[in-house]
Every structure is written in C-alpha cells, then in structure tokens.
Amino acid sequence: MPKQPNILIFMTDNQPAELLGCYGNDEIRTPHIDALAEDALKFDNAFCVNGMCSPCRASVMTGLMPSQHGLHTWIDDRLRHRWPENWNAIDEFDTLPEILSAGGYHTALIGKYHMGMPDRAQNGFQHWITSPHGHVTDFWNNEFIENDTLRSYPGHSVDYFTEQTIRYIEDRVSGETDDAPFFAFVPYNAPYGHWPALKGRARNRFRDFYDNVPMHSIPREGLHENAIARFLRKAADSGGGIDHSSELRIPNDLDTLRNYYSEMSMVDDGVGRILAMLRRLDIYEDTLIIYTADHGFSLGHHGIWGHSQATLPSNAHRATFSIPLIFRHGPRFTTGTNTEFISQIDLFPTILELAGLEPPNRNIRSPAKPFTAALHGQRSGQHTEVFLEQEETRAIRDSRWLYKRRFQKAPQPPFPDEMYDLVNDPLEKNDLIGNPEYAEIAKELIARIDAFFARYSEPRYDLWTGGTPKSNSDKAWLWQEAWGEDWAAGFGDPMSVDSANHRD
C-alpha cells in the first residue's frame, strides 16, 4: 500500500467562494490562499448541501445529506440542558475521523465543532481543541477547550487556532510519539458575518487595510421581500423582545462589511502561517491540503445578507450555497480550474480514497461520489448536478437550471417554487415559474428532485414526510401546521429558537 499522506483541511465559517481573490474578488486581501489556489486545483462549482453550519459539518463528516443524518439547521447551544450526557449529533455514523483513525491516522480537531457537546473529544478525534459553544459573539478574549482542560486566550480566536495547529503538527512531525500520518481538521470560526462579533470597526491587524476600500464587491440591492418576511416572522415569534434586524441593516453598514473582510484576511494570514510551517518542516509537498468552507453566505446578493435561512422561505441562490474548494497534493494532482458540480458530501469518499481506505458499509446509502478523477485532470461524467436542502426548500442545480422546490402541505398559501435559466440568466434574477414555455422542463426538474430525496432520505429525519430533526428546527411552526401539534423537534422541543446574538 502506498504511504498514506498527511491530510490538512481548512474550513471557514460562513464564507462564499467569492470572498477570495482567486475567485474574482478584487477588494479582499487573501494572498496566501490565492497563492495556494494558483498551485492547486480550484473547483468553481462546489456547493454545500445546506446553508447552515451544523448540517454542513455533519455532511462532510458522514458523506450524508441532512435528511439522512438528521441535522437541518444550526444546533442551538441554549438547548444544551436538554441534551443527553456528552451528546454527539452524529454518533450513530462512522465518521471521517473515526475511519481515518482506524486506518492508521492520528486525528485532530482544532477549531469550531458545533455538532454536539464540545467538552470532550468526539467522532474519533484524538486531539481536541475547540470552543465551548458554536456561535461567535466576540473574536477576542475567549475560553477554549484543550483536550480536557479549559483555557483562556486573550487574543484573536483565529490566531489561537493557528498557533494550536502549528504546535500540533510540529509535535507530530518530531516523531516523539509515533510516526502515524496526521489528519488535522482546522475549522476556523471566521469570517462569520454576524453581529455582535462584527459590529463596529474591526480590532484586528488588518483593519487599516480596509478603511478606505469602497466595498463595491458587496452588491447594493434593495432588500428582498423574503428577507423582510423573515424579519417580520422572527420579530412576531419573539414578541418583539429580540432585535432580528441586523441582517437587514448590515449591507448598508460599511464598518461591518469592512470588519467581515478583515476577518477573512485574518484567516488567510493563519493559513499562510501554517503553510509556511509545512514548508519549514519539509512536508509541504507530501501533505494533502484542502481549503473549503462550511457553507456559502449571501453578501447582499438579491438584497439578502446571510445564510439561506435569512429569507422566508429559505433561498438557494448561488451565493448562499457556493463554497470555495481547493485541493493540493504536490505534483500528484493537476492544477488549474475545474467546473464540474461538486457537493461537499463528495469530500467524504474522496478523502478516504486518497488515504487508501474504504467507505463504511451502512444501511443508509450515501449519494456522495468521489472526484479523484478530477484531481488527475480527468472527467468522470458523474458530477453534473448537485442537490440542496434547507428544511422547506429543496433544490437542484446543474449547468443550465436552478430549481427551488418548496414544501406544499403548509402553510396556506404554500411557498412558491422558483426556477432560473442559468445560461441566459446567470445572476438568477428572472424567476420562470408559471411561464408555460418552461412547464415541461419544470416538471422534469421536480421529478429529479423528488426522485433523489425519495431514494436517499431517512424517513425518521425527512421533514417532508413527517420526520423530525435531532435538535432544533428553524420553522417548527410550519411542521406543526403540516403534521399536527404533536410534532416536536429534537428532545421534545416544539419550538424553533433564534436571536440576533446566537447564530450559526
């Protein structure tokens, strides 16, 4: 068997692909990631499966869709008192780090977890550095869990995770413990994109660079009516006691926009420091390096700021589901740009194949497909479409069409479907629903969506057939309208929870 490569995965929090210079942004400062992409294979059509943090991370770790693993939105830490002891949201599945660990790897999580109780190592990770909670209220002066110890760090969280990653890899390479290859998963908790963490002028070392940047790369569009509908619904549900207006206000707040960009530069700086360390240790060429994000994020596109849940109904526009994906493994992979349609669940079988390991035998059939052929400059013909889901919205995207199918059994009137011709309308502005000229195509796209989810969804987690999520729901009220008042989200909680200060 060939020598197993060291594997290093960078994952950012709330970052669309276009928040990088290598993806066309001329205002962002990301020289280290751009240089990595220049010498790697960059995927231009990589997409997350869900627009929220916990489901996407679970999908990367399991190779399963949200309606298979049971997480449909961010896990609300405020419900922790209802969680079982040491609750792990994906404990029932063989996860990527568990399989790698059993296959000879030493595994490390150094960053944001947000898939259950963070107090001790989960999912086969042997080295465990993480935050005590999934959301970010401040990048500065936080406490972190270092294996079984809680420690304070006065600086910026990105610097903390960077320093911990460098220390971990240096220790592994020193050979003082064993010579097993490492799997280092580094999910930074930035750039994030929400108040209060981003409110006001940034405090980090890149803030001066952005002070005079005009921010023309943030679209200036009128607020989308569905974003306003979301705000009004959340305000009503909270009885007016919680301010949910930040997502409507941020696109016009230059301090916040510049703050967000500067946090992306903090991540880039951390990536650069870690890559420099790999070169110094002479393992850069022998390490499989992957850069990606948990999910996309709308930067004002269509008058929307934030996740796919920032609108009612949830949206599935490109910005909220497009993620960066960069692969490098020295001369072993081709370089350049790939335009095939890659789902983030495809990372699971691809990484295992590159590590020389077999995917697990499960009762649940995974729709994930390895894209190792693309890494060697070949096309497999299997990556021509991706499927997306966000509770009441399911979608298909291919080279020609984006179709958003909406759950139709509640409320009254039901949320409308949407359909876009991506060749003639690449910015997704002209909704073709109801146009008789496209009726047959719409019927075909609906059939493809329904067939996919009928084949792969697990009934107990399939919200569209009466299933429930493992934790909280963003729209418990909708599912109660559809399935009755006895319907309840995870741990018997009938209500969804959200606030301006606690987000994905």
Instruction: Please give the pLDDT value at position 495.
Output: 54
CA pair distance 390, 67, nearest whole angstrom: 10
**% pLDDT > 90, the chain:** 87
Reply yes or no on whether the pLDDT at 498 is more than 70.
no
pLDDT at 10 over 90: yes
Helix (H) or strand (E) holding 232: helix 225-237
Give 290's strand partners: 9, 327
Average pLDDT, the chain: 94
pLDDT band at residue 413, thresholds of 50, 70 and 90? confident
CA gap 464, 483 in Å, rounded: 10
Phi, psi dihedrals of residue 273, rounded to the nearest 5° = -65, -40
**254 sits in which H/E element:** helix 254-280
- Residue 247 CA to residue 304 CA, distance in Å, equals 8
Q: Which residue has the higher pLDDT, 29 or 410?
A: 29
Q: How confident is the model at residue 178 (pLDDT cuts 50, 70, 90)?
A: confident
Question: Is 314's pLDDT higher than 60?
Answer: yes
Amino acid identity of residue 50, one-letter, is N
With CA atoms as reference, report the closest residue to 493 among 467, 468, 465, 457: 468
Confidence band, pLDDT 50/70/90 cuts, at residue 405? very high
Candidate from 94-103, 240-249, 251-260, 384-393 with smallest mean pLDDT: 240-249
Q: What does the pLDDT average to over 92-103?
A: 97
- Overall average pLDDT of the 298-322 stretch: 96
**Among candidate residues 133, 115, 132, the one with its CA nearest the CA of residue 124:** 115
For residue 185, which phi and psi values (nearest 5 degrees)? -100, 115
Sign of CA dihedral 16, 497, 138, 130: negative
Amino acid letter for position 11: M
Beta bridge partners of 146: 129, 149
Provide the β-strand partners of residue 401. 421
**Distance (Å, whole) CA 284 – CA 277:** 8
At residue 470, the 3 state secondary structure works out as: coil
Nearest to 62 by CA among 343, 321, 296: 343
Domains of the chain: 6-389 (3.40.720.10)
CA distance 147 to 132: 12
The 10s digit of each residue's pLDDT in 179-206 is 899 999 999 999 999 999 999 999 999 9
Residues 6 or more apart whose CB falls under 8 angstroms from that of 81 comprise: none
pLDDT for res 496: 53
Q: Note the pLDDT of residue 28.
A: 98
d(CA 109, CA 11): 11
Instruction: For residues 408 and 393, give the distance between their C-alpha atoms in angstroms, rounded to a whole number.
Output: 10
* Residue positions counted in the chain: 504
Does residue 501 surpass a pLDDT of 50? no
Q: What are phi and psi of 287, to 5 degrees?
A: -105, 130
Alpha carbon separation from 484 to 116, 234, 356, 366, 493 (Å, rounded): 28, 21, 48, 31, 14
Share of the chain above pLDDT 70, in %: 96
Helix locations, 376-434, DSSP H: none
Q: What one-letter code names the amino acid at 336?
A: G
Q: Is pLDDT at 463 greater than 70 in this prediction? A: yes
> 83 CB contacts (<8 Å, ≥6 apart)?
116, 117, 491
- The string of DSSP codes covering 141-155 is EEEEEETTEEEEEEE
Backbone angles phi, psi at 3, to 5 degrees: -60, 135
Residue 2: per-residue pLDDT:
66
The pLDDT assigned to 335 comes to 97
Q: Is the pLDDT of residue 240 over 80?
A: no
- In degrees, rounded to 5, the angle at the alpha carbon of residue 292 between the alpha carbons of residues 291 and 297 is 145
pLDDT at 115: 95
**Rounded distance between C-alpha atoms, residue 25 and residue 317, angstroms:** 18
Closest CA to 157 of 146, 144, 167, 170: 144
What is the DSSP pairing of strand 325-328 with strand 127-130? unpaired
pLDDT tens-place string over residues 199-228? 999 999 999 999 999 999 999 999 999 999
pLDDT band at 113 (very low <50, low <70, confident <90, very high): very high
> What's the pLDDT score for residue 130?
98
Over residues 20-75, the pLDDT tens digits come to 999 999 999 999 999 999 999 999 999 999 999 999 999 999 999 999 999 999 99
Question: Minimum mean pLDDT among 50-59, 170-179, 289-298, 415-424: which range?
Answer: 170-179
- CA dist 325 and 340 (Å) reads 12
Q: How many CB atoms are located within 10 Å of the residue 355 CB?
A: 20
